[in-house]
Structure 1
Amino acid sequence: MKFAVLVFPGSNCDIDMLKAVEDVVQQPVDYVWYTSTDLSEYDAILVPGGFSYGDYLRCGAMAQLAPVMQEVRKAAEAGKFVLGVCNGFQILTEAGLLPGALIRNDSLKFRCHQVGLRVENAGTAFTNDYEQGEVVTIPIAHGEGNFFCDEETLASLNKNNQIVFRYAGDNPNGSLDNIAGICNEKGNVVGMMPHPERAVSELLGSADGARMFTSVLNAWRERNGAASIR
């Protein structure tokens, strides 16, 4: 399985994401610059956190216009696996690959600490190695992680089982319905504010994020008729 980690001007979690792939699933992984116009060789595309284009206009608003994002749209439509974390989640919503928007934390403060997450959908490409309803610990680091959408969209997310993670216990940003992560209807595109790539070893305070990476490798292996790593 081959992974791409996108790099935009202002990305700062790209190294963490690449190292997580190398350390957890030990699969080929490349940095892919935002000007790239070909992602055909990759099976999974990871959109990392950071401050793409300095978060000017809105978080992710400029990054979603980068040439590589047209290729991300094609990959998502083709059923390839796409994960957006923090700023990556913001980019995916701005690009229309996921519904809703991420707005300022209700505290108007940057929040950076561990949070509890409840797994609401263990059937996506990135969560199949978790148990339904399991509570895991993964850190956040954001100032604009407050998920918002209209009532119709929220009803659709609930109906289609597109809410992947909810904050368990304290809601750190005022996110609607405690939403921390969502997916598209097919479950191959996932966006979340917490950083699983920063929770792949107990030395980092938690290893709960590692299963995001083993999950997608399992999904790819099952799709291609290979043995999973469960």
Structure 2
Amino acid sequence: MTVAIIRFGGSNCDRDAERALEHLEVDAEIVWHEDGLPEDTTGVVLPGGFSYGDYLRAGAMAARSPILEEVREAAADGVPVLGVCNGAQIGCESGLTEGAFTTNESARFQCEHVYLRVERDDTRWTAAYEEGEVIEVPIAHGEGRYEVDDDRLEELEADDRILFRYCDADGKLTEEANPNGSKNNVAGVLGERETVAVLMPHPERATLPDIGPTDGQGILRGFDGASGA
């Protein structure tokens, strides 16, 4: 009964994720990507960082690691999978979710706190919140702008697969509240299975009460009691 946090060359948020999950009393283990998923894996985190130095495209090389085929198979079996920041880029590159994350509109690395509006409250990743609730979570990325073609975005909207959007403190979807220029202020999306999600902000950095806001706890509680169901 272990959440596997997959470490690639260049990962640097794996220990943050491990500590945050352990704070929430969720069993977690950092796994080197070449070693494959443990037999008792009941959840998967693709953590943030700069896997392989973002060579070619952010997440492109890590997405081609053999362990991602195991992750896709686990996801197809209903195992919860969460990709955060670089992990979100890997998730898109590997086909776990739609779209892509590319260079920020500002063309610079951005590290700041942002507001997110919860678009659904009926998924394991958002059950701790209410629909329309505004939470504060930090970002730290240079390639966080979510892009997807218009037709596919319409399908994602119709299928209710937008999980979070960047907003202001009042929940309004303004251009000023969109830190990286993401299409339609999208900050997080669901895969074809709602047990799979990717998001650019870092919930693990908004979990420990000793270092700041704890609004990210609810997202990571999606792993509570994870059993692959």
With the length of structure 1 as denominator, give the TM-score of the two structures.
0.92
The answer to whether the 8 Å contact 2:4/2:37 transfers is no
Change (3 A) 1:50 1:72: same
| Distance verdict in 2 for CA 1:110–1:39, change over 3 Å | same
Please show how residues 11-50 of structure 1 align to structure 2 within 5 Å: 11-24=11-24, 26-50=25-49
For residues 45-102 of structure 1, give each alpha carbon's deviation from its aligned partner in whole angstroms, at most 9, with x where no partner exists: 0010000001000001000111211110111111100000000000000001100000
Matches of 2:38 and 2:159, distance apart in 1: 29
3-state SS of paired residue (1:35):
helix
Residue 201 of structure 1 and its aligned partner are, at CA, apart by: 2.8
Q: Deviations over 1:167-224 (max 9, x none)?
A: 0121000000000000013211000000000001343221000111223316x3795x
**SS of corresponding position for 2:34:** coil
> What is the aligned partner in structure 2 of residue 226 from structure 1?
none
The aligned residue for residue 155 of structure 1 is: 154
Aligned residue number for residue 192 of structure 2: 185
Q: Aligned residues: percent identity?
A: 45
Alignment partner, residue 166 of structure 1: 165
Q: Find the counterpart in structure 2 of residue 107 from structure 1.
A: 106
Cα offsets for 1:21-49 (capped at 9, x unmatched): 1011x132111111123443111100100
* Equivalent pair of 1:39/1:72 in contact (CA under 8 Å): no
Map 1:69-88; keep pairs closer than 5 Å: 69-88=68-87
* Whole-Å separation in 2 of the counterparts to 1:71 and 1:186: 16
Amino acid at match of 1:124: T
Q: Are residue 137 (structure 1) and residue 122 (structure 2) matched?
A: no
Consecutive unaligned residues in structure 1, runs of 5 or more: 224-230
Tell whether the 8 Å contact from 1:6 to 1:48 is kept in structure 2 after alignment: yes
Cα 1:57–1:32 shift into 2, 3 Å: same
> Corresponding residue for 1:227?
none
1:198/1:74 CA distance change after superposition, 3 Å: same
Asked if the contact 2:42–2:227 (Cα under 8 Å) also holds between the matched residues in 1, the reply is no
Change (3 A) 1:221 1:128: farther
RCO higher in structure (CA 8 A, sep ≥6): 2
Amino acid at match of 2:26: Q
Distance 1:221 1:91 in 2: 23
Cα pair 1:36 1:67 within 8 Å, conserved: no
**Letter of the structure 2 residue corresponding to residue 176 of structure 1:** K
Aligned residue identity for 1:204 = I
Q: Which amino acid aligns with 2:80?
A: F
With structure 2 as the length reference, what TM-score do the two structures score?
A: 0.93
Q: Distance in 2 between matches of 1:153 and 1:140?
A: 25
Q: Which runs of 5+ in 2 are unaligned?
A: 169-176
Matched, 1:197 2:196: no
Do the aligned partners of 2:129 and 2:218 also contact (CA within 8 Å) in 1? yes
Contact 2:42 2:228 in 1 (8 A): no
- Quote how far apart the aligned CAs of 1:126 are: 1.4
